[in-house]
Amino acid sequence: MVTEEKLAQLREKAREVRRHIITMVGAAGSGHPGGSLSAADMVTALYFAIMRVDPAQPDWPDRDRFVLSKGHAAPVLYAALAERGFFPPEKLPSLRRLGSPLQGHPDMRKVPGVEMSTGSLGQGLSAANGMALAGKLDGRDYRVYVMLGDGESQEGQVWEAAMAAAHYKLDNVIAFLDYNGLQIDGPVTQIMSPEPVADKWRSFGWAVQEIDGHDMGAVLDAVNRAREVRGKPSMIVARTVKGKGCSFMENQVGWHGSAPNPGQVEQALKEMDDGPGCALP
């Protein structure tokens, strides 16, 4: 059982991850803050309470893997990797600069800890399946975690991969769907509704849970339950808020791919310091 002290530490770490997101996207003048902020609690939980990783050995064969299928949310991954010790946080403000390894979408050849180059939506689950199947064939006990976007789930390849994961009984795959309800063109349900999303994943042979993706305790509990599943992959449908933690970004589709100006960066960081901001319950 996770203690309240540990939960408080994780919430504080998520706050720091959000601060990095705002700072680096603001410095770059471009990027995707909305979907990075909505994923911050889940990514923080993975890197600081769940996954077996070693920053000193990024290619350790028995490490757990994380695939950010919604690769445009790279800022949240970079922030977590830096805080976890894969590279110095001082590199974060170089996001999207010419020559920086921190490209607008993750590049596994340039950034330690990045398991898969992503950004072409729909492909991440297929890559995660390959890693998971390789683990089973090699007799290794690592798990593969993958995060998909709700708009991304409109891609056909997602459902081919969903069917394959169930067919091969990849119970070492645990996926998150960051269901913040907004994509670049508007509300997901208006563009191409995935509903009933939980039932769809169940029908493809997955064990499915639905949670509040900003409730750190719920995230940890869901992963613990998923780890007990045998013979099928697990999907955690996480209801989230786009732009979570920044009052002027929350539930605003325009912040899918827009950078805050210096004044907005200052406002966002102040909210995160003073609350409610990212002072999540």
Helix (H, G, I), strand (E, B) or coil at 103: coil
Whether 280 maps to a domain, the answer reads no
Whether 95 maps to a domain, the answer reads yes
Q: What is the pLDDT of residue 1?
A: 73
Full pLDDT tens readout for the chain, 281 residues: 789 999 999 999 999 999 999 999 999 999 999 999 999 999 999 999 999 999 999 999 999 999 999 999 999 999 999 999 999 999 999 999 999 999 999 999 999 999 999 999 999 999 999 999 999 999 999 999 999 999 999 999 999 999 999 999 999 999 999 999 999 999 999 999 999 999 999 999 999 999 999 999 999 999 999 999 999 999 999 999 999 999 999 999 999 999 999 999 999 999 998 864 443 33
d(CA 267, CA 208) in angstroms, rounded, equals 38
| Cα separation values, 278 from 24, 256, 269, Å | 17, 18, 10
Whether 52 maps to a domain, the answer reads yes
Whether 281 maps to a domain, the answer reads no
d(CA 140, CA 144) in angstroms, rounded, equals 12
Structure tokens at 183: 């994509």
Q: What is the pLDDT of residue 280?
A: 36
Q: What is the pLDDT of residue 165?
A: 98
What type of residue is 162? A
Residue 14: give its domain's CATH number.
Answer: 3.40.50.970
Whether 106 maps to a domain, the answer reads yes
Whether 279 maps to a domain, the answer reads no
Alpha-carbon Rg for the chain in angstroms: 17
Whether 24 maps to a domain, the answer reads yes
Domain interval for residue 114: 4-274
Whether 138 maps to a domain, the answer reads yes
d(CA 10, CA 78) in angstroms, rounded, equals 17
The reported pTM is 0.96
Domain count, the chain: 1
Q: Which residue in this structure is represented by tokens 């890559």?
A: 127
**What backbone torsions phi and psi does residue 178 show, to the nearest 5 degrees?**
-80, 90
Q: What is the pLDDT of residue 275?
A: 61
